[in-house]
Structure 1
């Protein structure tokens, strides 16, 4: 099949814009939608998929080695440089715009396949989500049919909520699980609490909210919680009813977030403690304001410290993909950096959620010789589970920045 000249011009133009964003010439607002949309993936039992390989040129490995060597001599912590810092610095010095374009191109292919599939027999389908108009905050950010949370309702009732189960697994470590969801609309607030009650185990649940309720004059997320510490607030929908009561609220300075503690009583004998972490200094299509970037690592640590039941972390922003995907990627890879558990479990090549390259971030004494990119591989894995995770090149480059900062910590 031949490609037209216009096709190549469009590709070159998109790549040029991405490179300008990485270089800081364009702001996120100018280029927030410069690239094609992305898409999610198979559910918990998904078929084997072809790997998305980051683009390389003949000099990739040679330049990687030279950059890593230079970073090793110039970036030191105390008296010795962390070899992982040299590795991540070398990756960050590469052409991130090419990598991000590869991710978005794969997403666009999946989206087009889903739109063309009217029957719903293909690998990528959006038939259920596209039929929903009231329950989606945005019409172009949807969960895949095979990887969506289903509300536990009677068979004749609507089980749809715009939320996706996310699993990431690094070799030898306990899998990380999340629920990535849109910021509730006023109509879907009861569905949100119904999902939380059903999808989290034990007596605790943790919500990480990464958006203010409004930006400018536009609602980004409905205020789905109560401020009542006496009577509480009732929420109900088909087959579900609960009472939410505020127990306490304080500001955590290290994580720079408001921490609210609620009791969620489902009126059937089950009472759950819910921790709500509101980190609202992160604008849509952007990254946190510079003075709050360092708080992200503390936010991750706080969420896991409070999540005593080891349930999936419920993470959302407005659409549940950009800031949400960036946070999930950072949280997962920081756990690899901070890993102190000996790696003893065998690597299962057929594990559908395995990010095998994540092990290059484990504590080590020598510079890894692999040219694998765990950031690229993690985002690629996320996008097979929910579309548009890490929504633009600015957020993608930000992940490298945060990992380098974490490795600079003594």
Structure 2
């Protein structure tokens, strides 16, 4: 495939040549990613392993999936001696947006999750999984069940559900306003929970994702320097897909085209930062399709 610009690529998505080229790129990157992670896990908690921190002592039990762990060099570090959380700082070369990709909290890591939100001064959380999917636990319910109910997360941190309602005009997205308090200081954090994105799959419409991005950037957390927390269950498939799309929305709002394959380059960068990001080829293809939708439906 010798197409010169990203718009040419998305306009040719239906062609056999383009499909084959995308498949080849995705499979090659996935193979290299599997080999890298397998080697890192084989080295365990040794100094040579770039995932060694995740394998040491108590930290191992803080991972939802044993093969989805953060690299040492860009993992989020909590303050204090217990600094481990399965979460990764993410940036993309084409975007100034900052992200934290993380797994859905476990029951025994909810306090760590909210500590991370507080310490990183997060204002927006994007939740792309449901607590239970196909009869399997995918994420702990880490927020209070009722309005004005307060949960004690330990170490002087509490969370209180201030409000919960559907995103206006988008019933598949629930907006939760949570008051997070530490030693008398209170911040309002907004969680946007997209309830209709199947695990390892793709949503039926790009509209809810675009609505979430618009809500975050226009109302909740407009500064690109403030990290947006994004999670699904493992914090890789749906999470990585959303990050590419949100970064692309920022880029193409300021630029008419991209010289090369925007998605392939963003994907390659993500896989160097956290394993299995954009976990399936269907999710990879969704990136092209949704960006094409955004290019043709700009505000």
Provide the TM-score with structure 1 as the length reference: 0.66
- Output the CA distance in 2 between the equivalents of 1:151 and 1:312: 15
- Output the CA distance in 1 between the equivalents of 2:277 and 2:111: 25
2:173 corresponds in structure 1 to 257
- Output the CA distance in 1 between the equivalents of 2:38 and 2:189: 39
For 2:85, what is the secondary structure of its paired residue?
coil
**Deviation (angstroms), 1:102:** 1.4
1:88 corresponds in structure 2 to 10
- Output the CA distance in 1 between the equivalents of 2:169 and 2:265: 29
Name structure 1 gaps, 5 residues minimum: 1-59, 69-83, 340-361
- Output the CA distance in 2 between the equivalents of 1:302 and 1:325: 19
**Deviation (angstroms), 1:254:** 4.1
Provide the TM-score with structure 2 as the length reference: 0.89
2:121 matched to 1:200? yes
- Output the CA distance in 2 between the equivalents of 1:119 and 1:247: 42
1:158 corresponds in structure 2 to 82
- The one-character-per-residue Cα deviations of 1:340-369 (angstroms, maximum 9, x if unpaired) are xxxxxxxxxxxxxxxxxxxxxx226xxx7x
- Output the CA distance in 1 between the equivalents of 2:169 and 2:240: 22
- Output the CA distance in 1 between the equivalents of 2:97 and 2:7: 23
User: How many corresponding residue pairs?
Assistant: 289
Larger CA Rg, structure 1 vs 2: 1
2:208 matched to 1:300? no
Write the mapping of 1:174-323 to structure 2, written as runs, cut at 5 A: 175-200=96-121, 205-236=123-154, 240-255=155-170, 256-267=172-183, 269-288=184-203, 290=204, 292-305=205-218, 306-308=220-222, 310=224, 311-323=226-238
**Contact 2:45/2:51, CA 8 A, preserved across alignment:** no
For 1:133, what is the secondary structure of its paired residue?
helix
Q: Structure 1 residues 309 and 97 mapped into 2: Cα distance closer, same or farther (>3 Å)? A: closer
Name structure 2 gaps, 5 residues minimum: none
Q: Which of the two has greater strand per residue?
A: 2
**Contact 2:151/2:158, CA 8 A, preserved across alignment:** yes
2:76 matched to 1:149? yes
Q: Structure 1 residues 230 and 332 mapped into 2: Cα distance closer, same or farther (>3 Å)? A: closer
- Output the CA distance in 1 between the equivalents of 2:74 and 2:290: 29
